[in-house]
Amino acid sequence: MNCNDVRQAHPLLSEEARAHVAQCAECRAYVGSWELLKEYPELPVPAGFYRGVRRRLAPAILRFAAPLAAAAAVLLMALLLTTPSSVKPAGPTVTEEERELVENLELLQNYDLLKTLELVGENGSPLIEEKK
């Protein structure tokens, strides 16, 4: 086993790696430095440290992906809202007779009035008797 193998295997050293460390001064110093680092007290992590690390490691294009996606979504919504829709809204169906009644509402109201007057005349209204 050589020094490079020991450094790659550290801290899980095999029996062969431990035998190499016992014979090699450079590897003993390497393993000893790691042991000294374990004795050092843990440092508090400042706020935003991990976010900063991720930002530095992320490719530059990924930093602009979220704003570009938001801009694309806004543009798509604007296009959808401004283009006229060819789909008619679902509503009640109107028959030909109902449409004709609505168009001639004034005649219908007059018809109802005439019908009422006819009923009054059939019951012996004094107005009809004067005509005779």
Count structural domains, the chain: 3
The CA distance from 1 to 36, in Å, is 24
Residue 128, exposed/middle/buried by CB under 10 A (0-12, 13-18, 19+)? middle
Is 91 inside a domain boundary?
Answer: no
Q: State yes or no: pLDDT of 104 exceeds 50.
A: yes
Residues 30 and 54 in one domain: no
Q: What is the pLDDT of residue 118?
A: 62
Residues 35 and 61 in one domain: no
Is 13 inside a domain boundary?
Answer: yes
Q: How confident is the model at residue 127 (pLDDT cuts 50, 70, 90)?
A: low
Is 109 inside a domain boundary?
Answer: yes
Residues 32 and 55 in one domain: no
Is 64 inside a domain boundary?
Answer: yes
The answer to whether the beta carbons of residues 21 and 27 sit under 8 Å apart is yes
The answer to whether the beta carbons of residues 55 and 63 sit under 8 Å apart is yes
Q: How many residues does the chain have?
A: 132
Is 112 inside a domain boundary?
Answer: yes
Q: State yes or no: pLDDT of 26 exceeds 70.
A: yes
Is 88 inside a domain boundary?
Answer: no
Q: What is the pLDDT of residue 74?
A: 93
Is 17 inside a domain boundary?
Answer: yes
Q: How confident is the model at residue 120 (pLDDT cuts 50, 70, 90)?
A: low
> Which domain, by its residues, includes 72?
49-80
pLDDT per residue as tens digits for the range 33-49 = 888 888 888 888 899 99
Q: How confident is the model at residue 72 (pLDDT cuts 50, 70, 90)?
A: very high
Residues 10 and 32 in one domain: yes
Query: Who's near 122: CB < 8 A, 6+ residues apart?
Result: none
- From residue 55, alpha-carbon distances to 46, 59, 66, 125, 126 in Å are 15, 8, 13, 96, 99
Q: State yes or no: pLDDT of 100 exceeds 70.
A: yes
pLDDT per residue as tens digits for the range 78-93 = 988 887 766 666 677 8
Q: What is the pLDDT of residue 132?
A: 47
- CB atoms under 10 Å from CB of 6, counted, come to 22
CA dihedral 8, 11, 12, 16 (to 10 degrees): 70
